Structure 1
Amino acid sequence: MYKNVKYSLSLTLLISAIFASTDCNAWGQNGHRVVGKIAESHISETTKAALIPYLNGESLAQVSTWPDEMRSAPGDFWQKKSSRWHYINADDNATFSFNHDHTKHKESVTNILEGIHYSIRVLKDDKSSLAAKQFSLRFLVHLVGDSHQPFHAGRAEDRGGNRVNVTFFGQPTNLHSLWDTKLIENENLSFTEFAQFIDTDNAEIITEYLASSPEQWVTESHNLADKLYKLNNDEIGFSYIYENTPIIKTRLQQAGIRLAGLLNTLFDSSAKPLAKALKMSANTNK
């Protein structure tokens, strides 16, 4: 059923070779589901109703992992082109700007920003087919999450930290995988518990998060990755977890809030910018 906005960079952009399918599953399953679950608590009833035909009976948390799960599917798109949707790599201090040309066809998308804007374009177009909108919603949910993982805007030369070897309590891994899954799994929480613990109704925080664009989201991630590269320690232990888990919680929180704001803007004509683009959840008070 699920067959399948040109960006220019003011500084030199380095798009790496396509990652192998195991290289860029940002946030892992739990992280993506946390983002989807937080978004679910902030979308309006109008948005919720509008999403029904595109979700096909599933939740935002459930569809959030679909683009990763499809990586092994047959076909030219999944085998050769879909991987590049998940990341963007750039030189230090790069500025990301949107170019429409690469978002007209899914086969022409070359990075995560183009993927986000392609998905938005399809969802806004009344002429898009149901299958195209289902595909684009699933990718949009996933890519908003990916855009907040620092190493999905990391260095081309090491494939976003995949070639930076570290040990996590004596077990070999790499910097990308550490941030995708291991630091999240170390919390020993289900995705629903994690989402509940970090969700927020603080209007000031929400307003700050929503006063942003996808270009800013990947710039934030790029700047974080740059700092994390410099602070990297080959042996990861308790001090690293203490210092960096708050960053992960903030990025997941930001992604969930921003996804909800984006979906409300797309599907609820009464949604207003910033904090008013969200439905405030009654069960959080942070």
Structure 2
Amino acid sequence: MVLWNLKSISIFSYVIAYFCLNSQSTWAFGQNGHRIVAHIAEAYLTPKTEKAIKQITGKYQLAQLATWPDEIKSEPSWDYAKPWHYISIDDNESFESLNRSPNGDILSALVHFERVLTNSKTTQSNKWQALAFYTHLVGDIHQPLHVGYRNDRGGNDIAVKWFEKNSNLHAVWDTELIENQRLSYKDYASFINIATSSQVTSWQKASYLDWAKESKAIRKQAYDFNNIDSDIPQLSYKYTYQKTKIINQRLLIAGVRLAGKLNSFFD
């Protein structure tokens, strides 16, 4: 049985914890990836939704909350939340018949936090936490390797060389492809936020299951190492050129969809 116990901590304590943790080393989408998704989402929020979110976050931006669910991974008391960031499924399996983890997964977590956010009886501190998790997980499910293979833990067990530096495939897709652009999260979001109105409408119609199916369908492209004959794939310019297009599209779609969901919750 999944334990959805939300910790009862004051808003002030959350904010202090955020800035203490934010001064430590970065986590895996990476911090900027999640901030990009959140920043794009803010451009599509209705005024009523913006007001509702401000009542939860105070003076802090959605992008500041977005990285918190990764930062608390260093706290053993939050270990039970780790399975919420992904779902494991092989190519020959379907989501409809999948033997889902009893500890939860990203699909069940998204549904749960939607219920928390839309429940009028939810406390303010639990809404803060739920909004942080929800914002973060919308980003995660659009990163193809968060809908990953069991045998390599979503690419975490695939060792690669990233411009001669030791890394793994999951880290490349969570962080390296984005950081390679050498942009602030606000500039990055501005550069890729070129969705048409018809795209926004189409993307926002999709369900959580649709999101997961999309990531499952495109994840094989992460393993296309251009036929490199090496025990450890050497990833650099060609791989970056090909895969950055994919990750940029997923970041944009995630931001647009996050806004659509938040608007449906609060407006």
TM-score by length of 2: 0.83
The aligned runs of 1:136-285 (5 Å cut-off) are 136-231=130-225, 233=228, 234-268=233-267
User: For 1:240 and 1:196, how far apart are their aligned partners in 2?
Assistant: 23
Shift of 1:148: 0.5
CA contact (8 A) 1:149 1:221 kept: yes
Q: Decide whether aligned partners of structure 1 residues 247 and 55 sit closer, same or farther in structure 2, where only a CA change above 3 A counts.
A: same
Letter in 1 for 2:179: E
Runs of 4 or more, structure 1, over 6 Å off, are none
28-37 or 122-131: bigger deviation:
122-131
User: For 1:97 and 1:248, how far apart are their aligned partners in 2?
Assistant: 26
* Residue 117 (1) aligns with residue 111 (2): yes
Match of 1:57 among 51, 56, 59: 59
User: For 1:250 and 1:217, how far apart are their aligned partners in 2?
Assistant: 13
Shift of 1:170: 1.1
* Residue 130 (1) aligns with residue 124 (2): yes
Match of 1:43 among 45, 52, 74: 45
Q: What secondary structure is seen at the aligned counterpart in 2 of 1:96?
A: coil
Q: Decide whether aligned partners of structure 1 residues 173 and 74 sit closer, same or farther in structure 2, where only a CA change above 3 A counts.
A: closer
194-203 or 250-259: bigger deviation:
194-203
The aligned runs of 1:30-109 (5 Å cut-off) are 30-75=32-77, 78=78, 80-97=79-96
Unaligned 5+ segments in structure 1 are 5-24, 103-107, 269-286
CA RMSD after TM alignment: 2.1
CA contact (8 A) 1:26 1:152 kept: no
259-268 or 235-244: bigger deviation:
235-244
Deviations 1:223-248 (A, max 9, x none): 21133225465011211111111001
Unaligned 5+ segments in structure 2 are 1-5, 9-26
Corresponding residue pairs, total: 238
TM-score by length of 1: 0.78
Shift of 1:109: 5.2
CA contact (8 A) 1:109 1:115 kept: no
Q: Select the structure that is richer in helix.
A: 2
